Amino acid sequence: MKALDELTFDNRFARLGDAFSTHVLPEPIAAPRLVVASPAAMALLDLDPAEAQTPVFAELFGGHKLWAEAEPRAMVYSGHQFGFYNPQLGDGRGLLLGEVYNEAGEHWDLHLKGAGQTPYSRMGDGRAVLRSSIREFLASEALHALNIPTTRALCVIGSDTPVWREKQERAAMLLRLSPSHVRFGHFEFFYYTKRPEQQKELGEHVLAMHFPHCLEQPEPYLAMFREIVERNAELIAKWQAYGFCHGVMNTDNMSILGITFDFGPFAFLDDFDAHFICNHSDDQGRYSFSNQVPIGQWNLSALAQALTPLISVEALRETLGLYLPLFQAHYLDLMRRRLGLTTAEDDDQKLLEHLLQLMQNSGVDYSLFFRRLGEESPELAVARLRDDFVDIKGFDAWGELYIARVAREGEVDQELRRERMHAVNPLYILRNYLAQKAIDAAESGDYSEVRRLHAVLSNPFEEQPGMESYAERPPEWGKHLEISCSS
């Protein structure tokens, strides 16, 4: 395990030069203090977890100190926001401090969010508030624990620095880790500003750093794009399977690595609602839960347009055609496992769609239903769950089909079935009301609930003694919290 001053930097993106990013120093926040840290994320840098308790930890990630080898840069990019192209984007409140490589040879970007104004702040103050920093910290670490690809969060540092949003709040900084912070919008920026040399330089950098195996293919850029399509199809399949709604799937919020990126007004489903809109600023429902699948394809099409100088239109179109079949295959595989099925049958899609429609009509808790379905034998579980449905007759009909479907797989030891289903059906998810309770306490200076919730969510599949309240259905007020992009 390493101390903070033993990190090894290799700032590969910074070496691309000023056409790709601007050198900016962090603006320190007043009285920096640790809110929460993730030992699992610290381990990615080989850092000793005890380092989080040292004064220099809060000073480094609160903008007061900087490693000599760090080279903080604000990245430039553009993107489509709510379907419309915006040429004036970039790191408006975040800085890529540098890239660190660990003893396993992995490179990790250190990206400090809330670090102050940059040339891309667009009239903003460059700050992040405590509530949004806590939400991103909890979400990224919770998604990782659910085996959903995501950026990681190393820590949140609180402060006494006032910032104004709808009301006066306090600034905070979040240290985000990722193998890359290159977005779809990076390629769009150089495409729409007609800079083919920089576009190619960016492409060569991304290929060499993140898709080196594609260099062995006859058409490396096409091989890279195909993998980006494959990764995003699998990512969004996992979002849909676990009821995660991102809320603001602009192309500047899409990672070329196919990982969950730029948390804003996200939410996990409580009651199942295919039309759920988690961002109250999304008046048209563009980024509703069910729309995430077609929007994923739309965003990939926008990236494909930006890559036309490097790849033929015909090859791009053919590769885009892989997205929906790949999504469907990944999604159905995940949902079979959530239903406790180990084989595939042609009617499984209908069985699933029938269930989701019944859940939609009855407001059934999405996560708890699947967890409880694995608690007992199919017959007992169906009998116990039927009271959650308004259309009991309809659910009974589904239950008969489901029991027969499980029976066709042959006799299975119930304890083995329970173990297998619980390994994919979480007991604990990051519900908005749980996050809000932790934020309310943190804004009063009590960080214990943030830390406790993080610990619970880090082990979502196993029952944790004394933590029963974190697995309950939310109260009615907790289902209707309004979350916006404001941070």
Q: With beta carbons less than 8 A apart as the criterion, state whether 268 and 274 touch.
A: no
CA dist 82 and 329 (Å) reads 28
Backbone CA torsion sign across 39, 152, 148, 368 = positive
- The token pair at 157 is 């540092």
- Is residue 13 exposed (0-12), middle (13-18) or buried (19+ Cβ within 10 Å)? buried
User: Alpha-carbon dihedral of residues 207, 211, 215, 216, nearest 10 degrees?
Assistant: 180
CA distance 245 to 42: 27
Burial of residue 363 (number of CB atoms within 10 Å: 0-12, 13-18, 19+): middle
108 burial (CB, 10 Å; 0-12 / 13-18 / 19+) is buried
Q: Are 173 and 114 in contact (CB under 8 A)?
A: yes
CA–CA gap between residue 120 and residue 289 (Å, rounded)? 30
DSSP letter, residue 413 = -
Catalytic member of 91, 109, 252, 270: 252
Report the distance separating Cα 414 and Cα 53, nearest Å. 45
Output the CA–CA distances (angstroms, integers) from residue 92 to 26, 119, 121, in the order listed.
Answer: 12, 7, 4
Q: Is 413 a catalytic residue?
A: no
Q: Are 85 and 104 within 8 A, CB to CB? A: no
Q: Annotated active-site positions, please?
A: 252
